[in-house]
Homo-oligomer: A and B are copies of this chain.
Amino acid sequence: MDIVSQNRSFGGIQTVYRHPSNTCGCEMTFAAYLPPQAADGPVPVLWYLSGLSGTPEAAVEAGGFQKHAAEHGLAVVFPDTSPRGDTVADDADADLGQGAGFYLNATRDPWRTHYRMYDYILNELRDLVLDHLPVEDRHGITGHAMGGHGALTMALRNSEMFSSLSAFAPIANPTCSEWGRKQLSAYLGDDETAWSEHDSTLLLDDLGWKTDILVDQGAEDQYLDLLRPEAFATMMAKRRQPGTFRVQKGYDHSLRFVSSFARDHVVWHAERLH
């Protein structure tokens, strides 16, 4: 792993790494924050998955997680949102291709060569983090928008790996939204039976979640109709899923919304990971 940048932050260390990825077949970037407590022994990991067009650098700058992670003794890992580079397929459409990996393994050309974010995060990057950073093999996961989709779908399908789960304004029902149908069709093909593993509302119905889930949603989110958080909330109610669903009055879709509630989510994960 090469270090792209490294800074002291709230008594801990914020680093951006670059490494060759076998899974994605290209160089990948991610960021990791280590809190002060990591100097004394391994700490649990909170994964933060970014939204469409997000980068690890942007999440580090704008999310505001470091202060709270330092206070509560969590490492935070910020993966990228897709493979990137000149040799990696892309689309002029900002919602498809680079920056829009949707946290799945593509099975269709031209995407299947590099777009394997699901395996990359859950296996390769997880092993890399466990091997190289002073962290416990104990994980929580959250994310924003497309990253909220990633967090919910990855955790629901891998409940043995994750001990805590939350999301900010997730793309919650992509099989019924234009933020989803376009990408699932491109990456997985038109057979919709393959899509259900990437729809957190359907997964919650099918699998439930072992503990409780926190979801925050801005009431003034510009993309409410595309995110469909109410489908997930309705499924939580139908399943009587332990958890908290909050509609936050006045908040939009931006990272200002995420940073405003970052503390609540870090506390949520810290209480369940420690």
Contact = CB atoms under 8 A, between A and B. Distances in A.
Interface stretch (A96-104, A151-159, A245-253): A245-253
Interface in A204-240: 211-212, 219, 224, 229-231, 233-234, 236-238, 240
A22 interface: no
B244 A245 contact: yes
A240 B230 contact: yes
Contact of A230 (B224, B229, B237, B247): B237
A229 B233 CA distance: 12
A241 interface: yes
A212 B220 CA distance: 13
Contacts of A219: 240, 242
Contacts of A224: 240
A32 B237 CA distance: 35
A243 interface: yes
Nearest to A211: B249
Contacts of A242: 219, 247-249
A229 B237 contact: yes
Report how many copies the assembly holds: 2
A251 to B, nearest CB: 9
A245 B237 CA distance: 9
Contacts of A236: 233, 247
A211 to B, nearest CB: 7
Nearest to A246: B244
Contact of A212 (B233, B234, B245, B249): B249
A249 B236 CA distance: 13
A245 B248 CA distance: 12
A126 to B, nearest CB: 27
B233 A237 contact: yes
Nearest to A216: B244
Contact of A234 (B234, B246, B249): B234
Nearest to A249: B242
A152 to B, nearest CB: 16
A238 B247 contact: no
A232 to B, nearest CB: 8
A28 B73 CA distance: 54
Contacts of A229: 237
A100 B219 CA distance: 36
Contacts of A247: 212, 236, 240-244
Contacts of A230: 237-238, 240
7 contacts: A211-B249, A212-B247, A230-B238, A234-B238, A242-B247, A243-B246, A245-B246
